[in-house]
Amino acid sequence: MALPVAVVQGASRGLGLQFCRHVLSHKGSAALIATCRRPEAAAELRGLAERHPGRVTLLPVDVGSEEQVRAAAREVALRAGKVDLVVNCSAVLHPSGKGETGLREVTAQGVLSTLSTNTVGALLMAKHFAPLLQKGGGGFGLQPALASKRHSGILVNISAKVGSIGDNGLGGWYSYRMSKAALNMATRNLSVELGRGRSKVVCVSLHPGTVNTDLSRPYHRNVPAAQLFSTEQSVDLMMGIIDSLNMDRTGRFYSWDGSELPW
């Protein structure tokens, strides 16, 4: 049987880089396709590839360019012929690096730029990598005995609790909240479309918790130490969820602890 293949989009730092480390250290001989805008400048990612010769492929992908996403999918098709897991990690809080506190700070450019990276990019990844996920061998998640409920691949969109409309009691952060709410809708749509037919794909959104990364660092002051995760802690928890997924759990929004979040 062909070895599992994992694709991590946004792999040069933060959660994406840690997902790469986890796959390489915990998933036997699984092959890793790691994408980011400039692989030649991603020193830590290149170091991983050097330490795991033959297992890692680095590909340039700016999710703002559909042609780059398409080209990457073609390259993976040539190299591997299928994919078992795609994790979409690329995200920005806002082009300014700070979420809006009110309407006076909202700009069209800020909203559109955030949506482009956080929502449209992940949807384009799904568009071009779905055919490869449908050819996967189900190398991640749990496979039931009933053949009609088996999945071929898993698509994971890294979302955020602040993208939950039902949980929003504070407001603010218009661009980021809207982009993650839209991403959750994309996940739900994808779960319906890719859940049909014989080659089914599990599609979920995951909330990683508050993680010590560049994206959230400006807001750590008000976060209790026990609620601030390292990238290792967050990815270990999310991979535990991914390893438990099956078609009965597709189309949902899960927090780092496995609980289901409201849309």
57 assigned to some structural domain: yes
State mean pLDDT over 190-213: 95
67 assigned to some structural domain: yes
Mean pLDDT of the chain: 94
Query: What's the CA gap between 204 and 187, in Å, rounded?
Result: 6
For residues 88 and 226, the model is more confident at 88
Query: What's the CA gap between 37 and 110, in Å, rounded?
Result: 20
261 assigned to some structural domain: no
Share of the chain above pLDDT 70, in %: 95
Residue 191 one-letter amino acid:
S
Q: What is the pLDDT of residues 122-168, one digit of tens each?
A: 999 999 999 999 999 999 999 999 988 999 999 999 999 999 999 99
Query: Is 219 a residue whose pLDDT tops 80?
Result: no
260 assigned to some structural domain: no
| Domain count of the fold of the chain | 1
Q: Which domain holds residue 111?
A: 5-255
Of 20-29, 150-159, 208-217, 241-250, the range with the lowest mean pLDDT is 208-217
User: So what's the pLDDT on residue 189?
Assistant: 98
Query: Is 215 a residue whose pLDDT tops 90?
Result: no
Q: How confident is the model at residue 212 (pLDDT cuts 50, 70, 90)?
A: confident
Q: What is the pLDDT of residues 12-27, one digit of tens each?
A: 999 999 999 999 999 9
230 assigned to some structural domain: yes
User: So what's the pLDDT on residue 111?
Assistant: 98
Query: What's the CA gap between 111 and 134, in Å, rounded?
Result: 33
Q: What is the pLDDT of residues 98-123, one digit of tens each?
A: 999 999 999 999 999 999 999 999 99
Q: What is the CATH number of the domain that holds 162?
A: 3.40.50.720
Token readout for 178 is: 């809207």
- Backbone φ and ψ of 138, nearest 5°: 70, 40
User: So what's the pLDDT on residue 213?
Assistant: 77
- CA of residue 213 relative to chain centroid, distance: 15
User: So what's the pLDDT on residue 139?
Assistant: 95
263 assigned to some structural domain: no
- Backbone φ and ψ of 124, nearest 5°: -65, -35
Nearest CA to 140 out of 62, 215, 28 is that of 28
Q: What is the pLDDT of residues 60-81, one digit of tens each?
A: 999 999 999 999 999 999 999 9
262 assigned to some structural domain: no
What pTM did the predictor assign? 0.94
User: So what's the pLDDT on residue 7?
Assistant: 98
Query: Is 2 a residue whose pLDDT tops 90?
Result: no
Could you tell me where the DSSP H helices lie in the chain? 14-26, 43-51, 66-79, 108-115, 121-133, 174-193, 231-243
Question: What is the side-by-side strand order in the sheet with 31-36?
Answer: 56-60, 31-36, 5-9, 85-88, 151-158, 200-207, 252-255
137 assigned to some structural domain: yes
Bridge partners for 57 per DSSP: 33
User: So what's the pLDDT on residue 228?
Assistant: 87
